[in-house]
Amino acid sequence: MTIAVVGLAAVAAVFTVFSKPSPVRALDNGVGKLPFMGWNTWNAYHCEISESIVLDNAKLIKSLGLLDAGYNYVNIDDCYSEKERSASGDIVASKDRFPSGMKNLTDQLHAMGFKAGIYSDSGWFTCQLYPGSYQNEDRDIQLFQDWGFDLLKYDNCAVPFDEVIKEGMVGKYARMAGAIDKLSKRTGKPPMLFSLCQWGREQPWLWARRFGQSWRTTDDTGPDWGAIRSIINQNSFYSWAADFYGYNDMDLLEVGNDGMTFEESKSHFTAWALMKSPLVISTDLTKATNETLTILKNTELIAIHQDPIVGTAVTPFRWGINPDWTNNFTHPAQYWSGETQDGVVFMLINVLDQPADMFFSLTESPWIRAGRQYSVRDLWSHTNNGTAVRNMTIHNVPPHGVAALLLKDAGDEPAGIQPPCARPEWCMDQNGTRIDQ
């Protein structure tokens, strides 16, 4: 993939950019300012989990340099408990899978420098029919804290009948959010990070940030390009909702699992990182290849994901194959940009099945200043690629591949460039002459 910088071509059209609604004020309770990073048991192991699998992968996260890269949560998903609560009403860790107990496990994880995450459900049962937390919210969150966990992933299965619950999705998740808040105030300990996993039902990007730090926006993903592009498409319409203390969760990473090419995996990781989804590895790290680690350890993308100054995500400025604002699961938006503390980041996704050249004008992005030139940093080749003036063409982007670029202001563009406006609509001389006529 090569990059060509074009200096003098005019913008041919004006493209719509997102108008950001006023979101619900984020819950700032001292945790989760930035999207969390870590590892989760589910995609690689499903219900076949154990304390040895968790600890073995935790050791690899550390030895492979992933902890240093920022992946500091080790999260246990469904199937860790017995099928029945104890006589006193508590969830019981599986004696076969976790014979040493959860407190022993979290103590070991904390000693290695990790935080620990646990899973439960807002209904009667979990999705695999283990005990859920409905009507046991206070009891369960106390138990999870006693066990030493720092994060709760909270699912959406086994929903009680309407005549029992008498509240919608918002009220159902408010119950556990309230329990987390009450426990923190009672004990003086930091609240547990709350990751709502209700698959985008009832538009959580409008309300979930008042309860927790992330919310799932779609159904589960899978290790194939069809699933990845579908999730990118859906999130293109509400990527504006991400900001400090509240992030769209696009589901666990599939990087390292069979089913995608190297280029597709790079696109997957780039989209998740720049759209500020939690970055949660969910592969068997004993089988991690150099390609897998190259993707997961892209520190330049992670630095933008973890930007402490700018919390917002990239949003589309042009759909490309389709007219703007088109909902298309096979050909999602291709041209994206966003603010960072170090410049403007661009993400270009080739949704075609063959290589493609991708052209854009810099000022199609709302974050680019007219009349300025920009240095170009390629965030995958990790190279500096000259200076862009007005327009860029990225040559030979691989099928389902991605270009990720960081543009930094490099001063005024050269004098005398024609036409006088990169975007011609209502371009006017001070004498009243319109240039676009």
Catalytic positions, please?
155, 220
| Interatomic CA distance for residues 264 and 231, integer angstroms | 13
CA 429 to chain CA centroid, Å, is 44
Residues 6+ apart with CB under 8 A from 96: none
In order of 88, 261, 267, 334, 397, the CA distances from 401 in angstroms are 54, 9, 6, 11, 6
* Burial environment of residue 222 by CB neighbours within 10 A (0 to 12, 13 to 18, 19 or more): middle
| Residue 78, both tokens | 């469904």
Q: Beta-strand (E) ranges in 170-212?
A: 193-196
Give the largest CA-CA distance in the chain. 86
Q: Closest by alpha carbon to 31, among 222, 163, 211, 159? A: 211
| Interatomic CA distance for residues 289 and 287, integer angstroms | 6
Span between the terminal Cα atoms of the chain, in Å: 38
Q: Closest by alpha carbon to 6, among 425, 357, 381? A: 357
| Interatomic CA distance for residues 160 and 216, integer angstroms | 20
DSSP 102-170: HHHHHHHHHHTT-EEEEEEESSSB-TTSSB--TT-HHHHHHHHHHHT--EEEEE--SPPPHHHH-S-HH
